[in-house]
Amino acid sequence: MLWYFTTRTKIVNSHKSQTSGMTDDNEFFRKATLRICGTLEIEEAMCACVRAMREVMPVDRMFLQVYEPELGAMRTVATATAERGREVDLLTPMPEPVREQIARSAATGPEESVVIDSDERNPVAREMLRFHGIQGWSVLRMRLSTEGGRLGGIVLTAEGRDRYTSEHARLLRLLEDPFTIALANTLEHREVLRLRDRLADDNRYLHREMLRLSGDEIVGADFGLREVMHKVHQVAPTDSPVLLTGETGVGKDVIANAIHLGSPRRDGPFIPVNCGAIPESLLDSELFGHEKGAFTGALARKRGRFERAQEGTILLDEIGEMPLPAQVRLLRVLQHREIERVGGTERIGVDIRIIAASNQDLSKMVQAGRFREDLWFRLDVFPVAVPPLRDRRGDIPALVQHFIERKAGELKIGVTPRLAPGAIDSLVAYGWPGNVRELENLVERAMILHRGEPLRFDDLGASLPGSAAITSTPGELPLDLDSLDLDTVVATHIRRVLAMTGGKIHGPGGAGELLGMNPNTLRYRMRKLGLPFRKHLKPG
């Protein structure tokens, strides 16, 4: 907030000051006010003001204070000498009689707004001087009262006793308006900074939580998503656009978040936008923002999602649903890194990274004229295809355990439930048309239905109209799992795959290829799980 004030003509008709160094009151007011309002940093303004005031009165130190009634203390927010100013936050406790005196002054108002004082005559001055270690100094103080009802004051001190005169008090009174506005703006500025710091701290906490939930733990990163995560690690450090493709529910948003958290923009915002969920009439306003009065109901200026993603990442999910006119404006963002708010003419630069996601084949949409070819070329710089869950069945045991542990906290279940014998068998054989999202919902539903019991998935696929509940893949052997520990489940699954390959790990048709993982990684996992290396393993 700018320090703006209206000069009230309360001073002088060229009344000459009898103090050397100043020509008249108007000149004194002008010089002091220019220094008070010459900077947003109150401590620097006070330092410059001390230097100006020393030409007409003794000033060794200046204090800006505000009274905190709930604390019963006077808070010093800034102090200055002729050499330097300091922003401070010091509380001077006030005894009970002093607090009562301040309360009476607030209710009735003191007889004089400017008082020549000393620690001998005034208990408030005595407490303040003793707190700052300057007992025995002369004090000239002026009471300030902001429009918000905050009481404060500006205090001048000079070494030695009886240094101030009535002429000094009169000159200080001329600066009541500038100092009152300075106090009000300083308090508001401090509050803005406090809220900004709190928001920054909340953002850091949110980023840590996002990193904990998805950045470090991409389930399947070493198995079915190994190739995807390899691409993520390649593209994350760059600012290149990324196009994520895959069926609905495969976790494209999780991969986008992993790219953001692995990039130099990880401390910036991550703004997801579902382009298919925003009505076409509101899409421009949501993405680009609008100016006040741009349309009926635009009662104030609004920042759009692109501006909110400044120095961060924006995910444009279901970008195939974006209307052609909006695609033109998105192309401008990609080309020129700037936007225009709806109803505005100013071009606003944006420093963002764009990740697009779609469950549709955008190349076919281009051929059909439903997606701009030039925009597709801009977005298709680094395509990443996220495989469906049916193509990475080896991740299902780990995903189930991950969802059980997470949902146990969300549903406030004290003891993490276990799986019923053979429960994984049906999950691995199922076709998963809804992919990972369907699996997550299924686990949550089972935890609600079978609270306190081993989890079963009796209604697997029941919500799909006209389709069978279980679809088996040819050649798959069923899993007969009696132990429900995650390591045991993984070991059983690896042993089952090894039995299918006759113990072969490396090369075409080996267990490493079937599990979608590096053979060396598989051998490491087998050693960790205590699985032997030998031919003709039987499923355990």
Name every residue whose Cβ is closer than 8 Å to that of residue 264 and which is 6 or more positions away in sequence: 237
Model-level pTM? 0.56
With CA atoms as reference, report the closest residue to 260 among 288, 287, 232. 232
- On the CB side of 13, how many CA atoms lie within 13 Å of its CA? 0
Rounded-to-integer distance, Cα 291 and Cα 339, Å: 13
Closest CA to 32 of 14, 15, 17, 45: 45
User: Of the ranges 153-167, 191-205, 218-232, 463-477, which one carries the lowest mean pLDDT score?
Assistant: 463-477
Q: Choose between 278 and 484: higher pLDDT.
A: 278
Q: Which residues contact 428 (CB under 8 A, 6 or more apart)?
A: 393, 396, 397, 476, 479, 493
CA angle (25, 26, 30) in 5-degree steps: 115
What average pLDDT score do residues 335-353 get?
A: 89
Q: For the CA atoms of the chain, what is the radius of gyration?
A: 35
CA–CA dist 109, 167 (Å, integer): 22
Angstrom distances, CA of residue 401 to CA of 34, 66, 427, 439, 485: 68, 57, 12, 11, 9
Q: Tell me, what's the pLDDT at 372? A: 93
CA atoms of 233 and 261, how far apart (whole Å): 11
Q: Who contacts 392 (Cβ-Cβ below 8 Å, separation ≥6)?
A: 220, 223, 224, 225, 516
Q: Residue 433 to residues 249, 312, 428, 438, 476: CA-CA distances in angstroms?
A: 9, 33, 13, 8, 19
Q: How far is CA 291 from CA 282, 288, 333, 346, in A?
A: 14, 10, 18, 10
User: 58-91, pLDDT tens digit by residue?
Assistant: 999 999 988 888 788 888 889 999 999 888 888 8
Contacts of 208 (CB under 8 A, 6+ apart): none
Cα 78 to chain centroid, rounded = 30
pLDDT digits (tens, 9 = 90+) for 287-322: 988 888 888 777 888 888 999 999 999 999 999 999
- Domains of the chain are 25-190 (3.30.450.40), 217-387 (3.40.50.300), 390-529 (1.10.8.60)
Number of H helices, E strands in the chain: 19, 13
* Neighbour order of strands in the sheet with 61-68: 85-93, 73-80, 61-68, 151-158, 138-145, 114-117
pLDDT tens across 2-29, in order?
A: 333 333 333 333 333 334 444 478 888 8
Give ∠ CA 86-90-92 in degrees, rounded to 5: 135
240 touches 282 (CB < 8 A): no
pLDDT tens readout for residues 364-387: 999 999 999 999 999 999 999 999
Amino acid at 526: M
Contact 241, 288 (CB under 8 A): no
| Distance separating alpha carbons of residues 496 and 17, to the nearest angstrom | 100
CA angle 235, 240, 241 (to 5 degrees): 105
Residue 417 scores a pLDDT above 60:
yes
Distances (CA, A) of 219 to 250, 255, 383, 457: 12, 11, 21, 21
- Output the six-digit token pair for 78: 């800034």
**pLDDT mean over 487-506:** 79
3-state helix, strand and coil shares in percent for the chain, rounded to the nearest 5? 45, 15, 45
Residue in this structure with the two tokens 């499923």, named with its chain if needed: 539
Residue 470 confidence class, pLDDT cut points 50, 70, 90: very low
- Residue 42 CA: distances (Å) to CA of 80, 87, 205: 9, 8, 31
Percent of the chain topping pLDDT 90:
20
